[in-house]
Structure formats: structure tokens, C-alpha cells
Chains A and B, each alone.
Chain A
Amino acid sequence: MTSACSGQPISWLALERYELGELGPADRAAVCAHLEGCPACRGCLARIRADAALPLPPLAAPAPRPARRWWPLGLAFTGAAAAAALLFAWLAPGPAPLGLPPGLPGPRVAVKGGELSLGLVRERGGAVSHGPATFLPGDRFRVELTCPPPDEPFVELVVYQDGEAVFPLPVPARVRCGNRAPLHGAFRLTGGGQARVCAVLSARPVARDALAAGLPPGLADQAVCASLRAGR
């Protein structure tokens, strides 16, 4: 839909501020004068006013994408495939647990200017614990990140579990580095296998496809991962 304006359009920001009553007297008068002679800008203001009837979605923690389990796939495989997987696990270099990508870093690494570390906070039935090693269905987790200020990197959170990568944040978060800076967005674990919760720091947001199978070599030294296993 296109719409010609009689001059320089009143910006959407100015229209929003006009509607909120946040413009000063001179700006308000200028907007009023323009609106009188410009149907296009009046149309935009009408659109803003029409939206007022729409309900505002409640502010709630974004729901994490449920992690799928291995077992539906596993049913399709025979005992021979399972035996081959076990044999691979025995022979593979490095003891990466089944369902987790190899070469994931630990929860604390030294970086230029200080330390990069990831701390998990678990909420279980109202009880909060820091640095937990286990999870149960229903537990909620948050991440606290320590990185050297004054950096403000993009941080992507990725949870590897049961052969899948899940991204709890809607978009990578820009974090002001400091001591135990909280990342918004709580998440739950629904799989049954061991999980690694990783924070990947970068100057620009990283495409999620690149993280789906594990941490690429260029990013592994800018990431920290904490482990969680199922149990009390």
C-alpha cells in the first residue's frame, strides 16, 4: 500500500509521540498543521488509533522450544544400528557423551582482559540454586555470564542435548559485560540425556545453522559451556 504525502511525512515516531502526548507545544502544533492538509499522514495516525482496540499480549518469559527426544527416531533403528553406535562410542577419540557434539569448552575460560564464565541458576519448586549439576522435568534455568567489561558482545545461548541444538533466546542478546550479567529468558530441559548449555560470544550475531552441529573452530574459544545431567 502506497500513499503520497503532501510534503515531508510526519514520521511514525513523531506520530506515536503525538498520540502519547509526548511532543512539545511547537512540535505538536506543527504536526497538527500538517495533519490537517495531509490525508496520508492522517491515515497513519488513524492506524495507530485503530490499534488501541487490540489487546496487548501479556509480558511473560518466552516459551523455550521443546526438545525432541531420540526415542521416536530410535524406534526406526534395529539392534545392529544401536550396536554400531555403541562401537563408535567406544572407538571415537575423546569421550564426548552420546548426543553431544565433541570439543565443547568448559564453564570457565581465560580470555584477553579477564575471564569468561557461565553460571547456571536453577529454580526448582521455588528453591533457587546456583551452579547446579542436575536437572529434573519442570526445573527452570537462567544463565549468568561473566565477561570482561567494557565489551558488549552478542551472546547466543545454545543447549545441546540428545543430538539436538535448542536456542532458548528469541534472538541473540547484546550483553553489557560484567560480573554475572544475567541473560534474559528462562528455559527448561525436556530431554533425558546429558545436556551442555553453551553461551557463544561474538561481535556480530552468529547464524544458528552454524551452531546446530556444535561449535565451529572459530567460535569455540569464545564460548563457555556448563553441563547438566538428569537426576536429583
Chain B
Amino acid sequence: MELYRRYAPALLRKGQRLLQSRQDAEDVVQALFLDLLSRGETRVDLAYLYRAVTNRCLNHLRDRSNRARLLALHDEALRGPVRTRCDDRAIGLELLTRLVEHLDEETTEVLVYRFFDDLGQEEIAELLGVGRKWVLVRLERIRQAVAALTREESEVRS
């Protein structure tokens, strides 16, 4: 399948960046393409597939047993270079799994694009078909959630 050969490598990299597991990323990407095949959908572009993989990875992380397994076995090297931070803090898998429980689905999707895929505000707005202000509101929610979790952590330590 030409679509798979062309885009699967980019999607596998994206899945690995998020889940930090080669096997789980392969499962997610394979399931996506099998789904597309079964629906006969071949006229999709990388932006569409990026969103689809993002949502599937997040659903994967919302499953408690997947979460526990990935936290125990993940390979941090698969995350790759971290170029975008939230309040000077890199968002890793551990923090992401906690944020998934605190944030709504739309905001969590924005979080992934900003802090794992390094998309700018305008790129996120274009990808999601929303206004830049909408993105800014979600980024502020993320900042607040990260700050709250960081506060909790420091309180627990002290």
C-alpha cells in the first residue's frame, strides 16, 4: 500500500516520540492503516494521519494497563531531542500520563502538538482548523495544569 510506505515511517516516529515504545507505536500505526484500508480511505494526507495517530496514542495512554506498562518499560531515547518546554519543564511520558487524566481531550491533543511535535501556535490552529485564540486558551490551561502538578510534587517532597 503506497500510503503506508510513504507515511508510516513518519507516523512510527511520532508514535515512538509519544509512547516511547517501538512495539506500541507499531500497533497504533498498523491499526490506523488497517482501519483506513477497511474503509477504503486512501486520499488522506500527513496532517490528517498525524491527528489520527495522536488521538490513537492518547486513547492508548488513557487505558490504565497500557499506561502502567509503558511507564515501567518505556525507552526515553525514543522521545528524541526536546526542543519545546512548558515553563522551563520538559514534558515527559510520566507527566503526560498524569496530564491525560487532568485535561480534556482537545487540550491534551494541543499539548501533544506543542510539546511533543514542537508545532507553533499557528501550525496547531491550521492543523485543527481553529483560531489562534482557541489554541492560546488551551496552552494556558496546559500551563496551569503543569504548574499545579509541579506544586503538588514539591509539596509531597517537602
Listed stretches A47-55, A66-74, A101-109; interface member: A47-55
Q: Residues of A at under 8 Å CB distance from B?
A: 1-5, 8-14, 16-17, 20, 22, 40-41, 43-44, 47-48, 51-52, 54, 56-57, 59-62, 154, 169-174, 176, 182, 184-185, 204-205, 207-209
Q: How far is the CA of A5 from the CA of B79 in the complex (A)?
A: 17
A-facing residues in B34-57 (Cβ within 8 Å): 34-35, 37-39, 45-47, 50, 55-56
Q: Which residues of A contact B39 (CB under 8 A)?
A: 176, 182
- The residue from A1, A17, A209 contacting B82, defined by CB atoms under 8 A apart: A1
* In the bound complex, CA of A170 to CA of B39 (Å): 18
The chain B residue sitting closest to A48, CB to CB, is B13
How many angstroms from the CA of A184 to the CA of B26 in the assembled complex? 15
Contact between chains at A208 and B63 (CB < 8 Å): yes
Q: Which residues of A contact B5 (CB under 8 A)?
A: 56
Instruction: Mark interface residues in B85-125 (1 if CB within 8 Å of A CB, else 0).
Output: 10000100000000000000100000001000111100100
CA–CA, A207 and B62, complex, Å: 8
**Measured between alpha carbons, how far is A2 from B84 in the docked complex, in Å?**
9
Q: Are A56 and B9 in contact (CB under 8 A)?
A: yes
Apart from A2-B90, A184-B34: 8 A-B pairs, beta carbons within 8 A: A2-B85, A13-B50, A20-B10, A22-B45, A56-B8, A59-B34, A60-B30, A185-B31
